[in-house]
Structures are given as structure tokens and as C-alpha cells.
Structure 1
Amino acid sequence: MAFSLAPTAQLEGYRLEAHDSVGSTNALALERARDGDAGRLWIVSKRQDSGRGRRGRAWATPEGNLAATLLLIGRHELRLAATLGFVAGLALSDALDAVLPGGTVAVAPDGGGGRGDRFELKWPNDVLAHGAKLAGILLESAMLDDNRFGLAIGIGVNVVAYPQDVPYPATSLRALGSRCDAEGLFLALSDAWTENSRAWDEGRGLSRIRQRWLARAAGLGSEVAVRVDGKVIRGVFETIDEDCRFVIRDREGNAISIAAGDVHFGAVASAAAS
């Protein structure tokens, strides 16, 4: 099966560039932006050799996993454009629900975590299954002429394999008992992105996106530790605010809004963030 766009995405003017293997779909998307591409371009591959995660961390995409980047060209404030990461998380979780009806997956090999039978969104950019990382999202931008910018929304999903040498639980769709392949998942993703992007509505629908995201949020109401610039902030995950910043209530009762940081929940919080 070859990669293809959902009919809904085609009707909205999205285009597709598929590769057998790439260095980085995000890097390729930003290259297209600098070369004058008009945007609404999906770049996809089942293998990525030099992918990146947050803070420059390596993100491996062995053969059969999904590396997908959507290139958008815009004039929004970059602060508003950054909230498209939450749109991407919702789109991916909706796509997973579509290819795995009800979002139900087999019990994770290590015994679980998470809140049962559905996929969860971990702030700011991970999708979890039974508490284990299944996918990551990375937004990168490049300034263009005429006050425009290119935004690369990178989505990497562990379809057939997951990394073993990482300091957190990880999983793949195959490990969870799914037979879905990268092509089938991308077809559903391109459809779900179209729907969620309409709901975002150039930022006018951000409140709706925020409420939907919170309904799928991992760790809401639980103990959390967030590492920010070498400092660890501890408390209870209370919400995300109107700008999608992470809000925790510390032990003194203060609400603290965090724009960027590494989040650890529960028992992992003490070990991983200390």
C-alpha cells in the first residue's frame, strides 16, 4: 500500500510528497519552505535516518514506523502557531482511534500505566498508550520573506518498533497488538488533521482545542515534576491555560504556568526529575 491523502485533505488543498527514506521530514519541509513552497504539504516516509525530538534529542524512525511532517506557511504570531502542536496531538489521537476502534489496545508488555483503554496526550508533545510513549510531535519554524514563516509540524509514530535504550517506557502499535501500518495510519491522520485544523480555525477555536486536549490529558490532577532550565518544579498538574502553557499548583498553593519543560508524573517524577 502506498501513502495517500484522505479525500477530505485533498479537497482542502493539501498535497503529498512521499519518500522511501529521508534524513529528516522536518528538515526537508523547511527546505521546501525556503524554496518557495506554498504550504499545506505533507512529507512522509517509513524510514528517517536523522530525525530529531525536542531539545535536539535523536528520534529514530526505523523501517515501518511513520515519520510525517506538515508544512504550513503563515503570518500568524509564532506564539499562536505554536498551539498547532496541540491540534496535531488531537489529530493523531483521533487517527489512532479511527484505525483502532474505540482507542482500545492490548495491555502493554510491561503491565501498563495510563488511564485504561485509550490514548493520552502528554504535555507538550507526546502521545501515550498505557503510559508508554507511542509518538512524539516536534514543531520547527523558519522565517521567510514578507513577514511570513514556514512551520514544520513533525509527527513520529512507533508503528512497528520502539526504542529500547530510553529512560522512559516506550511502545509501538505492533507491541500493542495492532496490525495497522504506517500508510493506513497516515491516511487517517491526514483526515483527522483536516477536521481538527478546521476546529482550530486560525486560532479562533483554540478554546475548543484546549478543552478537547484536556479531556485526553495524561496525568491531570496527579503529582508532577517539571524540569525547567535545570530547575525542578514540583506540584499537581492542574490544567493548561489559554495559551496552552502547563499549569501546576505547587505545595504552597501557588499556580505556576510553564511554557517549556520536561514533565514527569507520579513515582517517575522523583527519580527522573531529581
Structure 2
Amino acid sequence: MTGFQLAPTALLSGYRLEAYESVGSTNALALERAREADSGNLWIAALQQEAGRGRRGRVWATPKGNLAATLLVVLERNFQHAATLGFVAGLALADALDAVAPGRTVKIALDGASAGRNRFELKWPNDVLADGAKMAGILLESSMLAPDRMAVAVGIGVNVVEHPRDVPYPATSLTNLGAQCDAQTLFVALSDAWVAHFASWRAGEGLAAIRNLWLSRAAGLGGEVAVRVDGQVKRGIFETIDEECRFVIRDEDGQRLAISAGDVHFGAVASAGTA
């Protein structure tokens, strides 16, 4: 028995759950279910992931006790906003972390990522930070099922009991922060928070509301950033995310740049020329 269960709100909204002690990849399993004609709204959760992936093929380790969870979403016809499901997931996860770690104080990170407005902040495009250190990552993978149907695996990995120590960025876990929470408790809160944000998203029709909520939790907003894009580093002030959720900076010449994909570094790290 894994101990995973869905929140009552998720059950009432028609979500289903497959739970495992260990899997290769929750994203891969979700896309497999899609190819088997699953209708979507299926959560796959595990306490350990042996072949997890991050963005751009990077490894995402999920040692036992951390949370690996993927939601299979099946979209029909309107696919243009599918990539923004990552922002829905970020908001849901930040709300879930707030719920399981109440009353935690906020620190200002050395790299200036955390402005102290929220206990958990969202780093564009797909990370959740605590005190400026990486707590969680989100990975979207998709597959066309038919000309008018797309499967999206919304993968979420959270450092609950352990965090990596051999990475070139600060990282942390709920246990490291002193929170008394396990992966199963966090998953209940996540499945609950997802329902409201996904309903607000409405296949992209409600993206403006999602964007505004995301900005209210944005790490580094108004500060110096460096973004590595296709091997080049773009520097400037993080102004906003635009209507398509692209990362918008204003460079030293006053030009606004809208960036669709890249690796973001904040504050002192950006100024030092590391990106």
C-alpha cells in the first residue's frame, strides 16, 4: 500500500489515481495510458522514480520518499495553449506547499531570487523555489493521439525528504525546511489545488487569470536576470510574462525581449556573468 489518495474535490471532479511505490517514469507511464485510450484526468503518483527526466533531457532524481506525480490531460482540438499547463501546475503546487508547510518564515536568497512576498515562489518556466532554492520541477511532455486529440503529461517532482547536493544551483527539501510532511500528504493537497486552477484555465480561455496569479508568485520579478538562449546569454530586468507566458526582460538598451525558452539566473548570479 502506497498511502496515496486523491482529495475529495478531485474525486468529485472525476479524477482517478494510479499509485506506486516505484516506477521508471510517471510521465512515460501517463503517455502509455494515453496510447491505451485513457480519457485523461488520471493522476499517477509514486514514492520513487528510477528514470525521471527534467527539461532538455536532464536527469531528475526521485529518491524514495520524494514525490513523483504526473497528471494525464487529454485535450481536444484547442492545443495552442497546452504548454501553459505548466503554469497551472506551478500555481497548484505552490498552493499545496503553502497548505502543508503553514507558518514557515521566508528568507531572502543570496542570488536575489526571493523577494520575501511568498513562502514558495515560481521560477520561469517550470520550477518552484523555497528561499531561492529549488524545491520542485515541472515537466510537460505531449503526444498526438489523433489529428484532433493531444495527450499532455504534466509531470511534477518535489523534494520532500531529500534534495540533490551535487548540482550547480541551490536546492532544498521540505524536510530541510523543517516541515513535517510526507509525499502522500502533499499529493492530497496538490490534487485538491489543481482542480480550481485547471477549472480557471479553461483550455486556455482563462489564461489571463492564470498569468496574473503566476506573476503574484514570480521569483525575481523586477530584478536583474541572465537568460541563456540557444548558447547566448541575454541580460536585463525581469519585467513580466506576456500574454503567451513568454519571459519578458528589458535589456540595457531599453529594448523589451520576449523569450520562449531558456535557463534563467537571478540577481548576483546574473551580474557575475554566470548563466
Same fold by TM-score greater than 0.5: yes
**Alpha-carbon distance, 1:75 to partner:** 2.0
* 3-state SS of 2:225 partner: strand
Deviations 1:117-151 (A, max 9, x none): 61000000000000000000000001112421110
SS in 1 for 2:80: helix
Partners of 2:234 and 2:53 in 1: CA distance = 26
How far 1:202 moved relative to its partner?
1.9
Q: Does 1:253 align with 2:254?
A: yes
**What corresponds to 1:272 in structure 2?**
274
Kept in 2, the 8 Å contact 1:250–1:256? The answer is yes
Rounded to whole Å, the distance in 2 between the matches of 1:108 and 1:237 is: 17
In 2 relative to 1, CA 68–108 (structure 1 residues): closer, same or farther, beyond 3 Å?
farther
- State how many pairs are aligned: 272
- Indicate conservation of the 8 Å contact 1:132/1:171, yes or no: yes
Does 2:90 match 1:115? no
> What does residue 42 of structure 2 align with?
41
Q: Distance in 1 between matches of 2:253 and 2:125?
A: 25
The one-character-per-residue Cα deviations of 1:146-185 (angstroms, maximum 9, x if unpaired) are 4211100000000000001100000000000011000000
Contact 1:45–1:68 (CA under 8 A) maintained in structure 2: yes
> Is residue 106–residue 176 contact of structure 1 (8 Å, CA) maintained in 2?
no
Shift of 1:111: 11
SS at match of 1:272: coil
Letter in 2 for 1:210: R
The code of the aligned residue for 1:257 comes to A
Aligned residue runs from structure 1 range 177-192, under 5 A: 177-192=178-193
- Give the distance between the partners of 2:8 and 2:119, measured in 1 at CA: 26
Cα distance in 1, alignment partners of residues 79 and 273 from structure 2: 34
What is the Cα deviation at residue 225 of structure 1? 0.5
User: TM-score w.r.t. structure 1 length?
Assistant: 0.95
Unaligned runs of 5+ in 1: none
Q: Which residue of 2 aligns with 1:157?
A: 158
1:109/1:126 CA distance change after superposition, 3 Å: closer
Alpha-carbon RMSD across the aligned residues, in angstroms, is 1.8
Which ranges in structure 2 are unaligned for 5 or more consecutive residues? none
Pairwise CA distance, 1:200: 1.1
Shift of 1:109: 11
Alpha-carbon shift at residue 41 of structure 1 (Å): 0.2
> Is 1:127 the equivalent of 2:117?
no
**Which one-letter code corresponds to 2:274 in the other structure?**
A
Q: 1:247 to 1:63 in 2, by over 3 A?
A: same
